[in-house]
Structure 1
């Protein structure tokens, strides 16, 4: 597990959570950027990217 991968995953999670409930296109775009960053960090650490809908609690 790399420090950089963990940092990307954490930063992406925070960005996604901050913007996922916004109704504007800009909020949705920022939430998607957060998801992409989180998944990039997960891949760097050898984990599978999350593909479920945000907020569902799916594993």
Structure 2
């Protein structure tokens, strides 16, 4: 696991959590940016990207 991948995953998680409950288009866009960053970090570390819908508690 790389430090860079772990940092990207953590930062993406925080950004997604901060914006995922917003109703505006800007909030949804920011939440998606967070998911993309989190998945980029996961792929750098050789993990599968998260594909479950946010908040569903499914692991993937």
Alignment partner, residue 10 of structure 2: 10
Count of residues in correspondence between the two structures: 59
Q: State TM-score, norm by structure 1.
A: 0.99
Q: Distance in 1 between matches of 2:24 and 2:54?
A: 17
Q: C-alpha root-mean-square deviation of aligned residues, in Å?
A: 0.3
Unaligned segments of structure 2, at least 5 residues: none
The 4+ residue runs of structure 1 with deviation greater than 6 A are none
Q: Deviations over 1:8-45 (max 9, x none)?
A: 00000000000000000000000000000000000000
Q: State TM-score, norm by structure 2.
A: 0.97
